[in-house]
Amino acid sequence: TQLLEQSPQFLSIQEGENLTVYCNSSSVFSSLQWYRQEPGEGPVLLVTVVTGGEVKKLKRLTFQFGDARKDSSLHITAAQPGDTGLYLCAGGSNQGGKLIFGQGTELSVKP
């Protein structure tokens, strides 16, 4: 069974700080996705990484896929209150579009 371990589970920081969220597995994934979910809504895709070692940037967010395609990280620079939410990583398998989700990281950025 493929599992994704996400850490930390909770993160509370002040505006302007940097943070990193990790997503680790012993399994290889064909792709790794990061979603953001706000209260009362469904997850929304932020980025997909598919190549080992790939780095993608989305404004202040930097996403990296591990060389062996077993892990990923999300780094936020100078966090803002608008970044508050639940961040989920999800691994793609070779079984069609099925995804394996991590447990999520609840981020709170205080002004």
Partner 1 sequence: NAGVTQTPKFQVLKTGQSMTLQCAQDMNHNSMYWYRQDPGMGLRLIYYSASEGTTDKGEVPNGYNVSRLNKREFSLRLESAAPSQTSVYFCASDRGETQYFGPGTRLLVL
Q: Does 85 bind partner 1 (CB under 8 A)?
A: no
Q: What is the C-alpha separation between 100 and 32, in angstroms, rounded?
A: 9
Contacts of 94 (CB under 8 A, 6+ apart): 30
SS3 (DSSP) at 27: coil
Measured in whole angstroms, how far is the alpha carbon of residue 92 from the centre of its chain? 13
| Nearest CB to partner 1, comparing residues 40 and 111 | 40
The reply on whether position 31 binds partner 1 by CB under 8 A is yes
Give whichever of 96 and 111 is closer to partner 1, judged by the CB atom: 96
Asked if 28 interacts with partner 1 (CB under 8 A), we say: no
CB 41 within 8 A of CB 54: no
Q: Is 82 in the site for partner 1 (CB under 8 A)?
A: no
Q: By the criterion CB under 8 A, which residues form the site for partner 1?
A: 4, 6, 9, 31, 33, 40-45, 48, 88, 90, 92, 96-99, 101-104
